[in-house]
Amino acid sequence: MKQNTQEEKMNYENMTKEELIAALASAEEKSKKSIVVKVSPKGAVQINGIRRFPVTFYKDEWATILGMKDEIESFIRDHDRELASKAA
């Protein structure tokens, strides 16, 4: 593992400015989390990539939550100062 780091360092030292900018952009793109929706092993709707662990509800639970969309949005607006936000 130490050898890879040394090889990468040598590669970076030999890169042009344009190559370094492209490598940085590529690394930033790879580090972005993508949000994925899938079926869990137990048959629930599972959303990965928002939190450390998946957010999982059964389809009827999602129907209830999605049916409350307007109420939830209103609640968030009404309690905006009380609610925390997690930086992406």
List, for residues 11-68, the tens digit of each pLDDT value: 778 888 888 888 888 877 766 678 999 999 999 999 998 888 999 999 999 999 999 9
The whole-number pLDDT of residue 22 equals 87
- Provide DSSP, the chain: -HHHHHHHHHHHHT--HHHHHHHHHHHHHHHS---EEEE-TTS-EEEESSSSS-EEE-HHHHHHHHHTHHHHHHHHHHTTTTS-----
The whole-number pLDDT of residue 1 equals 47
pLDDT average, residue stretch 74-78: 97
Bridge partners of residue 45, in order along the sequence: 39, 57
Q: pTM score, two decimals?
A: 0.57
| Residue 2 pLDDT exceeds 80 | no
The whole-number pLDDT of residue 25 equals 82
Cα-based distances in Å from 61 to 22, 36, 58, 68, 76: 44, 18, 5, 11, 20
The whole-number pLDDT of residue 26 equals 80
